Amino acid sequence: MITQTAPEGEAHFVMTMADHMEMCGQLARAFGNDQFQPLEPREEMLYLVDNHDRGWDEYDANPGLDPDTQLPYIMSRTPTLDNMKTNRLSPDANEAHHPYCGLLSSMHSWGLYNRRYGFTQFVVRARTTTSITVKNMYQPQVDALLTDEVARQNRLKAKLAEDPRTRSWIEEKHLFQNYKQLQFFDTLSLYFHLYHAGERGEETYIHVPLSPEADGSVTLRKVNESVYSLNPFPFAQDGLKITCRGRYAKPFPRDFDQSKVGAALRSLPMDMQSYELIAA
């Protein structure tokens, strides 16, 4: 679940991770031009981007309330055990579709606890680092989760290496090209999803892959509240319009029944935010 900031006294735009992934998919489908290689393998990558946070579905059906805000937790403040569960279920769901989707989803889960392999400087709201912060009491459980994900990755790589069609997909440079593409779509979407327009400033995305061999940096600047420029521009069209679904919610009463948060959110009217990305 993602709860966007809001001006004082105004309702907050609240999105499920499914809503977040849907916008990531819009970016993925438009990515690529003469400078930035598009997704390959395309079918598997689009499925992965559309489902990289699929493990959140159960939690988002009835999210917890953050006692500091009385709004649904943003993912970076979700209780550790719930967060760990989502980061195991997402690779499970992707592996069930295709081993390559499972491999990259597992890398995504592992990377969230490990600075996204060092390929980003984007810091999610309510954190001070690019990694999920883990309290000492939970570190053994997180370590076990990460060990299991490394084992999953090794198993899936071995399986993909057996098939001549997929063997080249796990070559390190190609694999990390795809991983970095996913991180770009994820963190670019989060820029919009975490902050309302008045709080959005300049952001630079590092390690956006041009090819398996080379990366570049993309700088995002706000032109106005709905238009944002990117330099260089990594999408095929001259301009790209993207949208995100969500619902506007105000803080819940302190005595609100936590078992009814999901139903209360679903009773609110669906709304939409739209943004236009242009070349600088």
For residue 128, what pLDDT is reported?
A: 86
User: For residue 189, what is the enclosing H or E element?
Assistant: helix 172-194
Mean pLDDT in residue range 182-192: 98
Task: Give the ranges where 98-126 is alpha helix by DSSP (H).
Answer: 99-112
- Which stretches does DSSP call E strand in the chain? 2-3, 12-15, 65-66, 71-72, 203-209, 215-222, 227-231, 239-249, 271-279
- pLDDT mean across residues, the chain: 97
Q: Give tens-digit pLDDT for 83-113.
A: 999 999 999 999 999 999 999 999 999 999 9
Q: What backbone torsions phi and psi does residue 8 show, to the nearest 5 degrees?
A: -50, 125
**Residue owning tokens 């600047």:** 221
> What share of the chain in percent tops pLDDT 90?
98
The model's pTM? 0.97
List the one residue out of 24, 23, 198, 197 whose CA is nearest residue 105.
24
Q: Distances in Å between the alpha carbon of 40 and those of 35, 166, 168, 182, 212?
A: 15, 11, 11, 12, 11
**Residue owning tokens 């057996």:** 162
Structure tokens at 2: 């993602």
Q: Of 38-42, 115-119, 236-240, give the lowest mean pLDDT range.
A: 236-240
The CA-CA-CA angle for residues 40, 219, 118, to 5°, reads 60
**What is the DSSP-derived secondary structure letter of residue 63?**
P
Say which amino acid occupies 29: R
Q: Give tens-digit pLDDT for 27-58.
A: 999 999 999 999 999 999 999 999 999 999 99
List the one residue out of 17, 11, 30, 26 whose CA is nearest residue 108.
17
Structure tokens at 187: 């963190």
Please give the Cα distance from 59 to 7 (Å, whole number): 27
Using pLDDT thresholds of 50, 70 and 90, give the confidence band for residue 237.
confident
258 CB neighbour count, 10 Å cutoff? 11
Please give the Cα distance from 28 to 39 (Å, whole number): 8
